[in-house]
Each structure stands twice: as structure tokens, then as C-alpha cells.
Amino acid sequence: MSEFDPKLLPLVLKDLGWRMKSEKNGLAQMWFPKEAFSYESFNSSPSIILPIENGTSKTEYNSLIRDAYLSLEKEYGDRFETTYAFQYTKTSESLDTIKTHVDTGSKSGLIRWEDGKRLFDSTRNMLISAAKASDKRKSYYGNGSATIAESVLKGSYMGQTQIGSYIVTAYVPAYKQFQLNRTTKKNKMKSIPGRTIIHTLDRALEGLLSGVEDGIKEEEDKIPEIFSPLVQQGVSFELVSSISEMVESSPTSKATTIQINLETRPMQPKIKPKVFELEHRQLPVLKKAEQVLKETKDKQSAKLLGEVILLKHSSHENDHEIKLSAIRDNKLRQIQIVALDSDQYEQALEAHGNGKLLEVAGTLIPQTRGYFMEHPTHVSISKTDI
């Protein structure tokens, strides 16, 4: 009892299926098993009195807490100890919760192995997508931002499933710092707290599901207009793909619920979990959004500043091409830029001859090695020397 925190008892009782019936003049709470509420058999049901701190004398408070502790220990044994230990860890480490819940339609809570695995994988991928979006907003990540993905998976927890349904739970330490980059002699470690990831996921899901509802109402050709702007809200191909996977892994007659608790404030019951509901009717739009965001990965609007290292011109074909050495994704890259008009090519020629950097704007297309730009929208000579 020396390390026991009585403030956690209400949370433990809730986890064990108890509910508070009444509060006596701000002095104590009366708790009963949920069965007592079903049959309104409070007189014949066991009960637990939880005193409110400063509502009674210290002696009476300690006595009632001890009685409650011993009653629960006797009734539940190891289950009580495990439940208390979980709540203690969740509170002391400020664990924020991501809970993916599928109603299986079966009281046993059983789910086909393949569907259960898909739900686990999609929850994992949803967490990773939020972590990556917390670092930088992109429509498609692929294998990029691997450091933050690895860091958040190593530093977060996975909870147990619950009876009567299939639930996958992730617990993210709110104030733990998750690493964004590999450290070298030149690069210091950058990091973000876990709660930033949860807030990013909340905002991204809010934008995504709002976009899905708009997509259901609009014509198919409007899908790109709806989802492309949502990238800046944290929506990515990876997030949409994980959500689609969740919906596909659930029974067609049931809804999938993603429940996110943004604040770990167990002693403040007014703070409610944020709940997002997914349904099979949304799946066609989610699939179209996946396609749009995957295609968008090939088109990144960019402004470049770099040194012209290659000039190529064919007067016969009126074909102008340059190669620019510029910083992209924190690395010095050689970017091939083609289909410049005559004026743009003259600007590049002059910048090269005068030892100046060149400013170029347009749409970048990732290649196996480096980037490619066609028909730049803006080319000008910078005042900066090489």
C-alpha cells in the first residue's frame, strides 16, 4: 500500500466493469458492479465506497481506501493487480491512446485470423503515417522518413484486445521525444513529442473523413480537388490506405470505430475521447483517394535555387535543357530540367556565365535517381554568387 495511489481507484473500477451510482455530499462516491444497474438490485449488490480527498478526516479516508483496496484484491486477485499496474503506467507515462475497434457481431469477440492481422497492420500503419506527417507533409512517403517511423514504434506500447469485440490499442507517451533524423557529426538530433503525433493524426482523420463525405456527394472527377489540398492537413496515401484496410477487415454490416484519446487526463472525466466512425459506404471514395494521392507523389510543386552545371540546346529542335545542382530533401541533388522556353534558357546561360545561382520553380517528378522537371513556370537569375 506504500506505493498505492488511491486516485487511480475510479479508473481501476471502470476497467473492472463498475460504475458510480451516487456521490454523497461531496464526501464519498458509491460504486456498484454493472450488473446491479441492469437489474437495479443495489440493495443486494456488493458496493464500494470511495472517499473524496479532503472530504473526510485523514483516518477515515485511509480506512475507506484500505477497505476498497482489500475488497477488490479479494474479489479479483491478479486481475486487480494487473488493472491497477496498467492504470499506473498509463498515468505516470502520460500515455495517449489510439484505439481501433471492430464489432465482430459475435459475443465471443472472435475474428478471422487474416482480418485480425489486417486490422493490426492498418493501425500500425496509421500511427506511422501520423508520425511521418508530424515531420513533413507529403502525399506519399514510401520508404521515406524511416527514422521517425522506427522511433515511434520502439517507444510506444500495444494494448490487449477486449472481450466482445476486436480492439487494437496503441499507447503513445505524450511527452516522450521521438527522433526525426539520424545523428551525425554535422546533424544534431531533431525530435517531436508523442502528443504532436496524436494531434496530427486527429487533424488528418478529421480532414480525411470530411473529404470522404464530400467525395460521396460529388462527381468522381472532383476527387483530386478534394483530397490534394488535404495533404497539408496530414492526409497521405499511407493514411488513406491504412483506413481503407480497416474498413475492408470489418464485417460489412458493422461500422469500424477509431477512437483517439487526445489527452491523458484520467482525473478529468470531462475530457472525452475523440471518436471517428468508418463505414463500408465510404470505401469507394477511400480507394479513389488512395489513387489520387499515389499519383500526386509524382508531382511536387517546388522552388529551387542552385548552380547550373549543364546547358544543352538543340537549335534544330528548339529544345532547351539544363541541369541544376540544388538542395532537395536536405541533400545536394542534380536535377534535370527540360522544355525551357528561349527566354528561360537565356537566363540559365547568363547565370552560368556570371557565376550566379539560378532560381527555378515548377513541378518536380521523382525519378529512380534524383528529380526531373518539365516546363518550369519560373526561371530567374539570383543575386547570390555561386
Are 366 and 275 within one domain?
no
Q: Report the alpha-carbon distance of residue 54 to residue 33 in Å, rounded.
A: 26
Distance (Å, whole) CA 118 – CA 125: 10
User: Tens digits of per-residue pLDDT, 371-380?
Assistant: 788 789 999 9
Pair 330, 228 in one domain: no
Residues 206 and 251 in one domain: yes
Q: What is the pLDDT of residue 182?
A: 83
Is 339 inside any structural domain?
yes
Instruction: Please tell me the predicted confidence (pLDDT) of residue 115.
Output: 83
Q: Which domain holds residue 368?
A: 300-385
Question: Are 131 and 66 members of one domain?
Answer: no
67 assigned to some structural domain: yes
Q: Tell me, yes or no, whether 180 and 244 share the same domain.
A: yes
Residue 211 domain-assigned?
yes
**Within this chain, do residues 88 and 100 fall inside the same structural domain, yes or no?**
no
Q: What's the number of CA atoms in the CB half-sphere (13 Å) around residue 91? A: 18
Q: Residue 161 has what pLDDT?
A: 66
Which cell goes with 15?
476497467
| Residue 374, domain CATH | 2.40.50.140
Is residue 36, in this structure, part of any structural domain at all? yes
Judge whether 225 lies within some domain.
yes
Question: Cα(128)–Cα(134) distance, rounded to whole angstroms?
Answer: 10
Residues 278 and 312 occupy one common structural domain: no
Say how many Å lie between the first and final Cα of the chain, rounded: 70
Distance CA 272, CA 164 (A): 22
* Domain count along the chain: 3
**Separation CA 327–CA 324 (nearest Å):** 10
The ranges of the chain with pLDDT < 70 are 1-2, 39-40, 105-107, 109, 161-165, 252-256, 259, 261-271, 297-299, 315-318, 366-369
Examine the domain organization and report whether 260 and 324 are in the same domain: no
Which of 296, 328, 362 is the last residue in one of the domains?
296
Encode pLDDT of 254-311 as tens digits: 666 776 766 555 556 566 788 898 888 999 999 999 998 887 766 677 889 999 999 9
Tell me if 106 is assigned to some domain.
yes
Say yes or no: 74 and 216 in one domain: no
322 part of a folded domain: yes
Residue 2 confidence (pLDDT): 47
Distance in angstroms (rounded) separating the CA atoms of residues 84 and 278 = 32
User: Per DSSP, which regions of 248-370 are E strands?
Assistant: 256-261, 274-278, 300-314, 319-328, 331-338, 356-366
221 and 112 in a common domain: yes
Same domain flag for 223 and 356: no
| pLDDT for 1 | 43
What pTM was computed for the model? Answer: 0.72
Residue 1 included in any domain: no
- From 261, 277, 296, give the residue that closes a domain: 296
Residue after which a domain boundary falls, among 296, 331, 356? 296
Q: Are 159 and 261 part of one and the same domain? A: yes
